[in-house]
Structure 1
């Protein structure tokens, strides 16, 4: 099954179909209506495994989230994840009640379940589409944040007794989010500090430790009666931006675990559904999905982003990019476990809605981005920098790869202007290694080995990344080296008619301009 799922990723990447649909298809094929004839109806086990998989997926997404992209988008993402969820739940529930005829409790559960954008779907699709950093940052942060309030709402609506008053729900959501955020930040900073200052005996232990810290954040947040999902996402984001040793290996390990989590979760959900029971709920699911996609999600984006003055093109793309995936289907198991009346129909409607609208939205998202002229392919490629601590020597080895499109291409080693205490000691080019000189010109595809002492390790990486983005003049033409933004001074050239030879240069510095 794993081999088939891995092959399905290749098919997905070539066809443009989201991989989750192929995994669901594998589960359905193994189920009681498929060739496997496996009878499975344990909603409680599916929910437990789904929660565990979601923790891993959120951890992988947090590790891959860049703080510099998400920081400007954080206020908008927070509003989308709170006020926006409320708007989406209300409109979707009203459509389910008045257009489909569901009872209000069932309609509210469906509205809450499908209002959560799926982290796995958003992370996998957006990182293949070159979008402006603000759009990507808002969507990624929203998908990481909105699981927390949605889970609280679904649990509240799925209780056997009466639903709490709205102000009680709002207070509960605010308290759990605050606790989860505090726990996540604390665990993330403590874990990052420990991994940066304690050299482990084997490099393979770092990825395991990173994932263990992420799971600890979820556990601590849940035990403190806070949002464990928000805690794991924030802790992982801190770890992913902390320049930990063997950072690429950490992300690669998390990505592998994320794939396994997605495969297991989607296949299990495919096993849980009974295809012949979906026929009667197909059109209700299409109607509710139409309300969600064409009315609720655009209104959610419009109301939430009104104070931020985001262009309508970006708002249109965010409206269409509210992708649903396994998370709504997992949340639909909560009323099944609580034995709420009509819970099986709720699950079937959510399942059909996710499949149909993922088929529509996922493949058309790149086309819409191009139609709205929201491509972002002009930026220079970032460097891949991997660090290994040398505890006894009080230094670090930085392995730097020069990717295609990096502006480090054509720069001499001396022009890197690395801080004192660091040096390029080895260059690997076309399979051969050599010790570079000051005049060695770096090329695309080179791999550099840089040695840096503890005090200048961070400054060295900042400088390397600055050169990768701004070339040899990084730090002079508005491309900062990680410490401050440097702007050029204006220079006036004077060529007296009676002077030959070199041109005298008289620099003139404007008031308030840094040299």
Structure 2
């Protein structure tokens, strides 16, 4: 049968539709959606019922790099700087020193147990050294469980910032294996150049993005997503061309943009969120097609040993050494150690040795793929149970959405937001007058049991009340903390005897 554009579009649309349906099923099954995307790709490949032969590492890597750029940008846009700022030091230590320690320990294990050379073992360690906490949060959201502060912002920051370090280590070790570099000291100037240039370009273009969106005043609203899409590609490619780290640049550009005020902020944020999901599906399907399941069987034993060592030894040692002098408790450090879920980045990085012509590149790719599958199956499914066992879980808060009624102009620092009062909130049973709302906050409407009314100072709040507020960003953070504060104990009459923000 001749492969026409119609058949290609039919197959592509069918795979995308199946992946979207699978993402819904992932919540019921308690496994990350990325695992199902990979499985769909593998079943569609030549060893599965789909029978599609795909063996193009260059195309898989190219698609993965572009997809990862958009995923990191969307992750940066969705990161609240006010919540992660306090964890900046710990997050940076985990994403640099922690990644290096993980890579070194896995390399030592691969050399000692598997008989690989030092550079080959370290290369595998570098490839699997970065984490994918986004998949962890997807699993926990499907189980209606979250992590208490400071774990959630710390893991969010680490997952968004540790990929550049893994990419640098992988490229550096490949250059040593191929003879492009002759000494480890040759990599130090490259590391400084990549990180400094990547950070500077990401910060600068992030500021430029906001300026352009607010000043250009395009004739058609539909051109704004095209503008940001082109700027994301420019950020990555320009940074990489100048010798900087493109992944760090796009993450910082997204972080700068997401924490600024600009036109069409809500619609652009949703556009990039949807684009990130499309990129994840396309990337995982392609990587699933690239692997041949029959080749995983011979490396299953070795892959299982590496995966268990990574999960039980390398990641915990890296976390406890990196966070040794922090105020985190033993339970919190243990949770950070277990949330070392490996995702798409290691599989993308495993295509680099294939293209570089490394001697054992095919075996490395299959080993990394097996490690990722094992990590997702064991860690991904057990995260909620471990969080409850360590008593570091928190009830998943309702995601704050901008009100669909009105989009505030960018020059106005305040806007409409909706918040819901949890059943355990200290605000339950209190009058608005006694709640101590921020001065810049106005409660416009209260939704209660299907009805809305305009409150006054004497209005007594009830559990599950939905509040429509006019407030600024800083006040919304304080107000959320206030509404989510819980009773520490109940008096005989049911009133709060003491307040706690735990």
In structure 2, the CA distance between the partners of 1:39 and 1:113, relative to structure 1 (3 Å rule), is: same
- Mapping for residues 432-447 of structure 1, pairs under 5 Å: 444=464, 446=466
* 2-structure distance, mates of 1:424, 1:371: 39
SS of match in other structure, 2:306: helix
Note the C-alpha offset of 1:117.
Answer: 1.3
> Which has the higher mean CA deviation after the structures are superposed, 44-53 or 221-230?
221-230
* Greater radius of gyration (CA): 1
8 Å Cα contact 1:148-1:229 kept in structure 2: yes
- Mapping for residues 171-186 of structure 1, pairs under 5 Å: 171-186=189-204
Partner of 1:399: 416
8 Å Cα contact 1:85-1:150 kept in structure 2: yes
Q: TM-score, normalised to structure 1's length?
A: 0.80
8 Å Cα contact 1:401-1:445 kept in structure 2: no
Task: Pick from 11, 30, 38 the counterpart of residue 24 of structure 1.
Answer: 38
SS of match in other structure, 1:400: strand
Partner of 2:163: 147
* 1-structure distance, mates of 2:442, 2:137: 36
Partner of 1:136: 152
* 2-structure distance, mates of 1:288, 1:336: 20
* 2-structure distance, mates of 1:60, 1:212: 14
| 1:259 counterpart = 2:245 | no
* 1-structure distance, mates of 2:293, 2:397: 48
Q: Tell me: higher relative CO, structure 1 or 2? Use CA pairs within 8 A at least 6 residues apart.
A: 2
Partner of 2:7: none
Partner of 1:38: 52
- Mapping for residues 56-455 of structure 1, pairs under 5 Å: 56-118=70-132, 120-125=134-139, 129-159=145-175, 160-161=178-179, 163-196=181-214, 206-377=224-395, 383-386=400-403, 388-390=407-409, 398-405=415-422, 444=464, 446=466, 448=468, 450=470
Note the C-alpha offset of 1:349.
Answer: 0.7
Note the C-alpha offset of 1:109.
Answer: 1.5
Note the C-alpha offset of 1:211.
Answer: 4.5
8 Å Cα contact 1:382-1:469 kept in structure 2: no
* 1-structure distance, mates of 2:399, 2:427: 10
8 Å Cα contact 2:421-2:466 kept in structure 1: no
8 Å Cα contact 1:418-1:460 kept in structure 2: no
In structure 2, the CA distance between the partners of 1:413 and 1:389, relative to structure 1 (3 Å rule), is: farther
Q: Name the count of aligned residue pairs.
A: 461
8 Å Cα contact 2:103-2:129 kept in structure 1: yes
Cα-to-partner distance string for 1:268-304 (whole Å, 9 max, x where unaligned): 1111111111111111111111221122111111221
In structure 2, the CA distance between the partners of 1:88 and 1:250, relative to structure 1 (3 Å rule), is: same
Partner of 1:513: none
8 Å Cα contact 1:27-1:270 kept in structure 2: yes
| 1:14 counterpart = 2:14 | no
> Which has the higher mean CA deviation after the structures are superposed, 225-234 or 428-437?
428-437
8 Å Cα contact 2:111-2:118 kept in structure 1: yes
Note the C-alpha offset of 1:356.
Answer: 1.5
In structure 2, the CA distance between the partners of 1:411 and 1:330, relative to structure 1 (3 Å rule), is: farther
Structure 1: unaligned runs, 5 residues or longer: 451-458, 474-515
Note the C-alpha offset of 1:250.
Answer: 3.2
Note the C-alpha offset of 1:191.
Answer: 2.2
8 Å Cα contact 1:96-1:102 kept in structure 2: yes
Note the C-alpha offset of 1:148.
Answer: 1.1
Structure 2: unaligned runs, 5 residues or longer: 1-14, 486-502
8 Å Cα contact 1:214-1:232 kept in structure 2: yes
8 Å Cα contact 2:101-2:318 kept in structure 1: yes
SS of match in other structure, 2:147: coil
SS of match in other structure, 1:226: coil
8 Å Cα contact 1:57-1:119 kept in structure 2: no
8 Å Cα contact 2:136-2:383 kept in structure 1: no
Give the alignment's Cα RMSD to 1 decimal.
Answer: 3.3
In structure 2, the CA distance between the partners of 1:34 and 1:78, relative to structure 1 (3 Å rule), is: same
* 2-structure distance, mates of 1:364, 1:240: 31
* 1-structure distance, mates of 2:184, 2:62: 28
Partner of 1:51: 65
Task: Pick from 482, 485, 488 the counterpart of residue 470 of structure 1.
Answer: 482
8 Å Cα contact 1:78-1:142 kept in structure 2: yes
* 1-structure distance, mates of 2:468, 2:343: 41
8 Å Cα contact 1:59-1:211 kept in structure 2: no
In structure 2, the CA distance between the partners of 1:461 and 1:121, relative to structure 1 (3 Å rule), is: closer
